[in-house]
Amino acid sequence: MKIRELMTTDVRTVTPDTTIKDAASIMNTVDVGSVPVVDNNKLVGIVTDRDIVVRAVAKGQTPNQKVCDVMTKDIKCISPDTDVHEAADIMAKRQIRRLPVVDNGNLVGIVSIGDLAVEGKYEDEAGEALHDISKNTLH
């Protein structure tokens, strides 16, 4: 099965100039822990709730700080034609729970470990990936 069959296509995004307060508000509204950062629909990063806490709040930054100052820039992306097993392997090896899906550099969706788990036949891969993701964060 290809990622295009599981990915979420209705993805809320922010621009590099969005404030971290507005990004956090979006995360709260749509109940997610990360938001892709795009510039003219080109993926340039991702900002997570952890990015905001560790790179801004913990350092006494203001809520008006821009997302580009705290976002993760070195992100792994996949294409819509990536195999689900490959996506699960990437998540496990990189210890990430979400992968942006891009086509010609344009963000077209996002897939999460939960998307894999919901698809019954990939439950084992999702469980293994989550185990690998979590094992180093429990120490």
Average pLDDT of the residues of the chain: 87
Q: Which of 63, 128, 57 is nearest to 95 (CA)?
A: 128
The per-residue pLDDT for range 14-33, each reduced to its tens digit, is 999 999 999 999 999 999 99
Backbone angles phi, psi at 74, to 5 degrees: -90, 85
pLDDT band, very low/low/confident/very high, at 120 (cuts 50, 70, 90): low
Q: Which of 22, 51, 18, 19 is nearest to 34 (CA)?
A: 51
pLDDT band, very low/low/confident/very high, at 99 (cuts 50, 70, 90): very high
Position 33 scores a pLDDT of 93
The per-residue pLDDT for range 43-90, each reduced to its tens digit, is 999 999 999 999 999 999 999 999 999 999 999 999 999 999 899 899
- Give the pair of three-digit tokens for residue 66: 């821009």
d(CA 38, CA 15): 5
Position 128 scores a pLDDT of 55
pLDDT band, very low/low/confident/very high, at 126 (cuts 50, 70, 90): very low
Long-range contacts of 38-41 (CB under 8 A, 24+ apart): 38/13, 38/14, 38/107, 39/15, 41/106, 41/107
Position 108 scores a pLDDT of 96
pLDDT band, very low/low/confident/very high, at 135 (cuts 50, 70, 90): low
